A and B are shown apart, each in its own frame.
Chain A
Amino acid sequence: MIEVENIHKSFGDAHVLKGISTVFEDGKTNLVIGQSGSGKTVFLKCLLGLFEPDEGQICYNGQFYSELSTSERRDLRQEMGMVFQGSALFDSMTVEGNVMFPLDMFTNQTKAEMQDRVDFVLERVNLIDAHKKYPSEISGGMQKRVAIARAIVMNPKYLFCDEPNSGLDPKTAILIDNLIQEITKEYNITTIINTHDMNSVMEIGEKIIFLKDGFKEWEGTNKEIFKTDNEAVTNFVYSSELFKKVRQMYIEERN
């Protein structure tokens, strides 16, 4: 469980996060949505400890991040998995090397055990024939999947994904969403996903927070988001023609 209390973050004059509080529970896929530039990535990086909030507290299963020593922070981070918006794969290593890296750094497993684990997670993200390729030799969508494999290889307690399915075809996107939800349930992970994909919202939005202008504008579930009266949320949710039509049909059906 991650509890966020009133965090603020500015870069120079730009006040990006203006006091955000919320709770992310275990075993749930938590979604952070909002327009491009609304501060989703900055928020996630605060949760990861990559940015230090100017104000406010973040608490991981009862431990306040600000009260941890440097080595305790490193230990905490070993329990985190992160999928960066741009994948951030190590381009000097093969796909397999990337996924094996955390195992190699932090466990005492034998080569064979590590190989088994790597094969297992790569298969889960539906990548079976790219083990020996380098990141520059595979497509953006494949890179995303490798990044997901690398994030889950250590069985993290906290999983952060920054737009895990942007750049993927709808079918693979759903597959990735379902995969993330599955492992979240299976290992009772606290999962937080940044997205502006409405499909993901519908599929896996067990808890959604909507960021706007640095504030948490709205919070709820995917059942609630389609019924809310909050104008900013409806504008965002029904910005696409497809969803407008769906909503139209929904209203017509009701009448």
Chain B
Amino acid sequence: MRSLILKEIDELIYGSMGIIIFIAFFIGGVVTIQTALNLNNPFLPKSLIGFATRQSVILEFAPTFTSIIMAGKVGSYITSSIGTMRVTEQIDALEVMGVNSLNYLVFPKIIAMFMYPFAVAIAMFVGVLGGWIAAVFGGYAPSGEFIKGLQMEFESFHVTYAFIKTLIFAFVIATVPSFHGFFMKGGALEVGKASTTAFVWTSVVIIILNYILTQLILG
């Protein structure tokens, strides 16, 4: 079981780090540029750019946006790998051997996704870093001002909120696609369809949970 979990961590989390970092970096940059362009009132301090970047990256872009990307990348991988096992009777083969196939296939994925908050933490850091680089090198705000903004009115509970969300999204990303793969019927064509359906449902569930959790925790 341990080696299965490690394998899933490698596949689901480590294998997604590249895309997570890439997206976080550029989204962080774009958020900064957009904020800077909209803050053209000279009486507003430039540090607000850093503040806005931090808030949007930590509260929404790192946890929610990354999770939607993961629903596509990891979710479709989970659905298609389990779905292929279903249509080629590999799941039946597990059952015939006396293996609890649902447990065997899904449990390691859920445990592996508990590592997902680490990925989101990295996304937060890289997102803010991307913002800083865009601000300083794009000439929107001097480094000192931006960093002052990053530290302004920092509420650690916002980070807690982000990680609570992330953990719940992680569970959704592991289970909804697994369900679609495990209980699918048909052949190779249906595996493709199941992956798409799984992505849509995972995203919908994430978006709705995001709304509910935000209302419950921050509202």
Binding site for B on A (CB under 8 A): 45, 48-50, 74-78, 80, 82, 84, 86, 88-92, 101-102, 105-106
Contacts and interface: CB of A to CB of B under 8 A. Distances in A.
A77 B95 contact: yes
Contacts of B100: 74
Contact of A78 (B84, B85, B88, B97): B97
For A88, A90, A101, the residue with the greatest tally of chain B CB atoms inside 10 Å of its CB is A88
A82 B92 CA distance: 10
Interface of B: 81, 84-85, 88-90, 92-93, 95-100
Nearest to A105: B99
A78 B95 contact: no
Contacts of A101: 97
Contacts of A90: 85, 90, 93
A45 B85 CA distance: 17
B98 A50 contact: no
Contacts of A84: 89, 92-93
A193 B212 CA distance: 56
A102 B97 contact: yes
A102 B99 CA distance: 9
B98 A88 contact: no
Contacts of B96: 48-50, 77, 80, 82
Contacts of A102: 97
Given A45-B92, A77-B95, 18 more contacts: A49-B96, A50-B95, A74-B100, A76-B98, A77-B96, A77-B98, A80-B96, A84-B89, A84-B92, A88-B88, A88-B89, A88-B93, A89-B90, A89-B93, A90-B93, A101-B97, A105-B99, A106-B97
A82 B93 contact: yes
Contacts of B90: 88-91
8 contacts: A77-B97, A77-B98, A84-B93, A89-B90, A89-B93, A91-B84, A91-B88, A105-B99
B10 to A, nearest CB: 13
Contacts of B84: 91
